[in-house]
Amino acid sequence: MLYTGCVTDFAPRLEELRRDIVAQGKRVFDIVLKAVEAYFDLDKSKALLVIKSDDEIDRVDVEIERASIPLLALGVTDEYSIRSVLTIVKINNELERIADAAVSIAEIVKDYPDLKEVPSDTFRVMANSVIGMLRDANRAVKDSNTALAQQVLLFDDTVARFKEEISLNSQEQVAAGKLSVQFAFRLTAVTKAMERISDYCTNICEQVIYLQSGKIVRHRPEGWTNPSEPS
């Protein structure tokens, strides 16, 4: 049935949607943290919990998208209100992708429970950095904090460098016979999943900046640009 509400319904429904996206961010952070813990601890039961929890993430993802679309039909015309809805839709999509990456990590733990090699310190630092990025991206969304969003963007290149270092070290360790091919394969897959989470966090923070300023940031070889008007 088509919704026949009016513009005065927009503000309370948008506020409810904002609460929903903040709550979804907390859910996603929780399963990412559990997935990383499952990997470090080789905890198959925790990995299975992550996989099961993704059903709730997917359900809420659909609910938020379905609730967002009718808001644009209420007749609001100011740019900030329209941006608010569009950015929630985009952030919702990024959160769902982050959850999928967490599931990828959990599935590796589930499928390879007997590989006992210990991840390098570099990987632990990378994992902690990515978890911090997600935590701060969620805070930036909750508080509409563009300064914090820009700080998150600065970590993206650092995470990419960690990934390159881990990949090179794994190849060297396998060649020297100090690391099994199976463990190196698993570590590479988990590292890629963590890098994807980092990328999705930066996408979220770009949306926070765009929402508050109408400006966009671009990633170039020399780093992130300052927010500027779309050209």
Distance CA 196, CA 199 (A): 5
Task: Give the pLDDT of residue 2.
Answer: 39
44-70 pLDDT tens trace: 999 999 999 999 999 999 999 999 988
Q: Report DSSP letters for 162-208, one per residue.
A: HHHHHHHHHHHHHHTTSS-HHHHHHHHHHHHHHHHHHHHHHHHHHHH
104-154 pLDDT tens trace: 999 999 988 676 777 888 999 999 999 999 999 999 999 999 999 999 998
175-191 pLDDT tens trace: 998 888 888 888 999 99
Is-above-0.85 flag for pTM?
Answer: yes
Domain residue spans in the chain?
Answer: 7-220
Task: Give the pLDDT of residue 74.
Answer: 83
70-105 pLDDT tens trace: 888 887 888 888 889 999 999 999 999 999 999 999
Q: Which of 65-69, 114-118, 170-174, 203-207 has the lowest mean pLDDT?
A: 114-118
Topology of the domain comprising 7-220: Methane Monooxygenase Hydroxylase; Chain G, domain 1 (1.20.58)
